[in-house]
Each structure stands twice: as C-alpha cells, then as structure tokens.
Amino acid sequence: MSLLKKFAMGVSASAMIASGAAAEISDGKVKIGVLTDLSSTYSDLAGNGAVVAAEMAIEDFGGSVAGAPIELVSADHQNKADIAANKARQWGDSEQVDAFAELVTTSVALAVFEIAKQQNKIALVSGAASSPLTGSACIPSGIHWTYNTRALAVGTGAAVVKEGGDTWYFLTADYAFGESLEKDVTAVVEAEGGQVLGSIKHPFPASDFSSFVLQAQASGAKVVGLANAGADTVNAIKAANEFGLVAAGQSIAALLTFITDIHALGLETAQGIMLTTGFYWDLNDETRAWSARFNERTGRMPTMVQAGVYSSITHYLKAIEAAGTDDTDAVVAKMREMPVEDFFAHGGVVRTDGRMVHEMYLARVKSPADSTGPWDYYDIVRTIPGEEAYGPLSESDCPTK
Amino acid sequence: MNRYIGYLLVLALLLVAPFLVYPVFLMKLLCFALFACAFNLILGYGGLLSFGHAAFFGGAAFITGHAIKVWGLPTELGLLVGAGSAAVLGLAIGLLAIRRQGIYFAMITLALAQMAYFLFVSADFTGGENGLQGVPRGTALGIFDLQDNINMYYFVLAVFLIGYAIIARTVNSPFGQVLSAIRDNEPRATSLGYDVDRHKLLAFVLSAGLAGLAGATKTVVFQLASLTDVHWHMSGEVVLMTLLGGLGTLAGPAVGAAVIVTLQNYLASGALSAWVPVVLGTIFVICVLAFRRGVVGELRVLLRKTF
C-alpha cells in the first residue's frame, strides 16, 4: 500500500511539475463540498438555494482559481450527524474535496468539524447557529460565517426586553442549537433585568406543537421565546395562533427567523415579529443586484444562510488566489488576514477563533398594508455593530484562538 | 466441496475489496451484514419476529462509544463491553418477550425498544439529538493503527468473520437443530422434553449480543454513535435486509444488507436522492410478491433444480 501511495504521489508530483501553473494546488483542482439539508426541516432556509449560491460564487469567480479549475459537489445530510460525517469523510478521503461548506444544523456542523480536524480540511459554516462552534467546540480550520446564537440573543433578546417583555418562557429544540440559543438569550434577558420562568424542550424535528404551546400559555410569561428554527418555528407560530396565545396577551419572540419562514407564514400572521438577521436582500443596491440574480435562478429571495454561503466561498477562493496554494493552513491564514468585502459584508473580519465578525440587523416584520409585494417583509430597525453582536475575542472560550 | 470453494472465493474477494472500493463503505456494509445475520438467528432459525433489535444495535453503539471515549478503554475491550451490555439488555427484554409469540412478541419487543430509545434520548452520556461524537478508533492489539482505513477494514472484517462463524456454528449445532424444531412445531418440541423457553431465550440473547457487536463496530468505524442507530426505523430496516436476502439462510441476510446499504449509499448522491425510501419500498414489494425466499433462497432453489 505504502509503495502504491508513493508511486501515486510520484505520478501526481510529476504531473504538477508538468502543469506548472497549478503547482501549488493539490490534485490540480479546488473542490468544494456543499453539505446541506435538501429534503427536511431546513431545506427552505438552506437547501437547494445554498447549492445555487455556491454555483454562483464559483461562476462569478470565473470557474478557476490560481490556474486550477474549481469543482462543486453537494449532498443531502438529512440533518443527521452520522450521514453528514460519512459523506464528509468520503469526500475528504477519496474525492479530493478541499473544503466543506454550508453545514446547517449544529449537530451536523460538530460532526463535520471532527472530520475537518482529522483530515485538515476547511469547514465554512453558514447555516448552523450555535455559538460554541467558535467557542468550546472550535477547530483551527473551521470558520463560522453568517450569524450565531449570541448575535441573535443580543439583537432580538435585548430589543424585546427593552419593550417591556421581561418574563420569558422558552420552547426549545432538543439539540445543541436549541440549548445554545436558550442559554445565550437567557444571559441577555437576565443582564437586561428580565426573568426566565422556565422552558420546555421539543423533539427535533417536531410537527405537533399543541402540548408545548399549552405549557407556554400556562407559564404566564409575557414572552414565549422560540429557540428553534425553520419548519419548527413556522409550526410553533401556527400552533400558537390556533390556541390564541397572542390574542390572550402573550407575545412570541421567534429568536431565529428566516425570510423564507415569514414567506411561509404570510404577513398577516407574522407581522410585528422582531428578528435578527445577518442579511436582507433589500439593504442597498449591491444586495438587491445579487438577490435579483439569485431570484432568477430559484424563484425566491435568498436567506442570510444562502447569501452567507456565497460570501464564504468567495472569500475562500480569494484567499487561495492570494496565497497561490490551497494548503489549508496557508489559506486559513490568508482568510484571517484579508478583510471580507462583498455585498454580504463590508470590513468583515475572520478572527482566530473562526468567527467572521460583521454587522447584524435588527428587523421588524411589516404589516400587510406596509408591504409593497412578495418578499418586501422587513423594516430594518437597527444596525448592530459586529463587536456588539459577537462579543470581543477575549470572551471566546475557544482553546486555539 | 463446492460450498468450500464458494466460501474461499468470497473470502478472497473480501480480502482484496478495500483496494477496489472505498473501504469505509465496505466497513459499513460488513457492520450491517453482521447485524442482519444476528437478527436472522432469531427470526430465521427461531421463528420469532423481533421488532426491537435497534435497541441492541444502537445501545451497544452508545456504550462502546462512551467506554472508548470517556473511560479510555482499548478498542477491543470497548467492543466487548458494548456487545456484553447488549446481551444483558437482550436477557432483560428476552425474559419478558419470549413468553408470547407472533404479533405479541413483536409488539413487546417494539415497546421495550422504544423505552430504551427514550432512555438514550434523555441520558446525558449519549448527547441526545447531537449523538456521541469524536470516538477515537485506537489501535488493534496495541500494534495496528486503526486510523488507517485499510487496517480498520481488516479489523472489521475479522470481527465480522468471528460473528459469522459463531452464528454458523450455532445454527449447525444440536442447539440450532432444536431451535429449528421449535420454530416448526413448538408443542412437539415440548412433548419431546426440550425446555422451549430456555432455548428461545438463549437464542435471543445470542442474537442481541451479536447485534450489539455490529453496532459497537459501527461506532468505532464512524467514530460516532447517533440516535439513528436506536430508532425503530433501524429495527424495520434489518427486517427488510433479512427478508430481501433470504430468511433462514446463512448468507442471505448479509447479501440483503449489502443490497440495501449499497442502494442507500449510491442513490443518496444521485438524482433519486429524495426517493430512496420509495425505491426500497418498491423493491420490498417486488420481493414479497415475486421471490419470497429472498435473493439467496431463490438462488439455492434454482441451483438445486438445475443440478
């Protein structure tokens, strides 16, 4: 075997010398693997749109980097950590994939981090939210791009408490992301002088929220915080509506809401929801131009996750171009050195704990009367500076920061 | 004589396979093949349809993962701890379940397995929905580094062959004969003086332990254990593998497992990715309607007719 390997390395080495231009690119190509949820709870907010965003990033880059072609592969992880780990391992072992992208669902991101660490590959997380990904669970080559639970807590949590919502009850998705979000929001609520009365965990994914909503109603809290995402959030809000939770005087804080969720709920139901987002298509000319192209291909506007996939892959490719190699350590160093400049973020910084720090936005969902048409859903209430949203590096408990 | 040539051919194929096919895929295949063979011991030879084998498979997966990762046990010992605890769980479930037959047996095993599932969801050491991740592969016998996929493959192959040998030996022993007799006519076996319950229980425990060994090995290969392994879907999948391959044939379940795992693996990344359950369901329907003896069962009949 080792002899075979040596022989193979010899062959590929001579091939590299022959090709010259792509001398520093392993296997003569840069291959990106998008692992996402194509069929389940999070397929709307990430899913096929994330794959399209990755395709756009590669096309806009010209299809090649540092003289080597860029290839894209994608797979459905069904929100299951074991499927994701198997796929990532196979990509890394036998299909020369250099970077894993998207990775929605925290348990998936954690599993792929484990593989990326072993194989020394880059992981560009966009969809997963848990702040421990750049904290206790961080890896040197893992970069968390779009948002995290701390930023959501700082944005939405603080805003809701300031408006008088000082007693909370949580409906929490029973896995790492839900726990992390609940923990981060609890910290913010308590720091602002609010109080958490209790929480209930629901299985992930769930479709029947009636018993959980009843518990929340019985708690007497002013605010019911939804520490879940995607179809779970939509189902919980629908159930809450059916039980007249809002009509009875409680309010809902959907802590992680995507524009696709608002689209699914309709403005009639969703109006007035406060949310924190890393991206909105209607911010400025740049975002509108990119989103229009995205809309042409998919028939919908991008979520922050999908825009983040484009941005993270573009920055990764820029770093390869600048470094002249796809060697993981060199590329990560370049990614940290170069500021993130595109329609998604201006002056974004990749920190040593893997956090990409950029501005976040606090938004309020428009009423049907204010909205001019489909996808015109948000009023941006406030721009949250990156440092405030993500906290200083000194706060991160990442051991390799 | 022909039989030995067949076995040698398959063994040779298994030995060279990792150089031709992606080894991790082959390891997954072997783990499920062992799981299905263990399941076949109780269904095919004992005539008892257990619908709770995921509890043994997944339970051992979690316990082995915990033993290796947190207690720091060597890999081989971790596997034995996992298989052993699955056998103990099998004893507990078996003691209750073998008092009934047919649909009642299936429902009792399902109910108890669901309890085990709930236990694993809420227990801290399993990580709940996140699963147990980052289990080190360790070394085999303290010499071979299992991080290397080829070494790992031969280790898994050895585990599979040991498990398969135990099953083959059991089936062809007087104990196995009595078990088949019980399956075919229980009152007659009782009247001949055999302690029917003890035979069934022993077969059940053996099957649980070997299913546990398969789950434990899977944890070491993938370095993680997740709730998928204890979910009742897994119990259903192993029934499918066994029936598809050939109920009550030694090699059948292994073939069935190979077919199912290969389909799942290759369909998952193709155009049919959202249709995997439909494809598997269709195959199952065809199997039940057209070739009830399963792939290996039909082949055996065909061979007998022709020669």
Give the alpha-carbon dihedral of A346, A347, A348, A352, to 10 degrees.
170
Q: pLDDT per residue over B9-28, tens digit each?
A: 989 999 998 898 888 889 99
> What is the nearest CA distance from B295 to chain A, expressed in angstroms?
27
Interatomic CA distance for residues A253 and A184, integer angstroms: 14
Interatomic CA distance for residues B250 and A357, integer angstroms: 59
Rounded to two decimals, the pTM is 0.83
**Cα A338 from chain centre:** 21
Q: Are B215 and B227 in contact (CB under 8 A)?
A: no
Mean pLDDT, residues A358-371: 92
> What is the nearest CA distance from A81 to chain B, expressed in angstroms?
7
By Cβ distance, the residue of B22, B149, B268 closest to A75 is B268
Q: Is A71 helix (H, G, I), strand (E, B) or coil?
A: strand
- H helices of chain B, in order, are 2-16, 23-43, 53-69, 75-97, 102-122, 149-171, 174-184, 186-191, 196-222, 232-245, 252-268, 276-290, 294-306
> What is the DSSP annotation of B211-230?
HHHHHHHHHHHHTEE-GGGT
Q: The complex's ipTM?
A: 0.75
Tokens of B287: 């199997």
> What is the nearest CA distance from A75 to chain B, expressed in angstroms?
6
Domains and CATH numbers, chain A: 2-15+25-147+284-354 (3.40.50.2300), 150-277+360-387 (3.40.50.2300)
Pairwise CB contact (< 8 Å): A75 & B274? no
Pairwise CB contact (< 8 Å): B133 & A110? yes
Q: Is the peptide bond before A205 cis (omega within 30 degrees of 0)?
A: yes
By Cβ distance, the residue of B129, B228, B274 closest to A39 is B274
Task: Using 70 as the pLDDT threshold, list the residues of chain B that sit under it.
Answer: 1, 268-274, 307
Residue A170 backbone dihedrals phi, psi, to 5 degrees: -105, 140
Q: Is B200 helix (H, G, I), strand (E, B) or coil?
A: helix
Q: Answer positive or negative: Cα dihedral of A316, A322, A327, A332.
A: negative
DSSP A400: T
Q: pLDDT per residue over B212-240, tens digit each?
A: 999 999 999 988 898 888 999 899 999 99
Pairwise CB contact (< 8 Å): B222 & A174? no
Pairwise CB contact (< 8 Å): A82 & B24? no
Tokens of B306: 């022709």
Pairwise CB contact (< 8 Å): A85 & B22? no
B2 shares contact with chain A (CB less than 8 Å): no
- H helices of A192-303, in order, are 210-219, 230-242, 259-265, 267-270, 285-298
Q: pLDDT per residue over A193-230, tens digit each?
A: 999 999 999 988 888 999 999 999 999 999 999 999 98
Q: Is the pLDDT assigned to residue A261 strictly greater than 80?
A: yes
Tokens of A345: 């973020």
Q: pLDDT per residue over B23-56, tens digit each?
A: 888 999 999 999 999 999 999 998 899 999 999 9
Closest residue in B to A36 (Cα) is B269
Q: Quote the pLDDT of residue A17.
A: 43
Q: Quote the pLDDT of residue A81.
A: 83
Q: Which residues are CB-contacts of A254 (< 8 A; sequence separation ≥ 6)?
A: A226, A233, A237, A261, A273, A275
Length of chain A counted residue by residue: 401
Partner B, chain A 201-260, Cβ-Cβ below 8 Å: 203-204
Site from B15, B21, B129 to mutate, A interface, most A CB atoms within 10 angstroms = B129
Closest residue in A to B118 (Cα) is A203
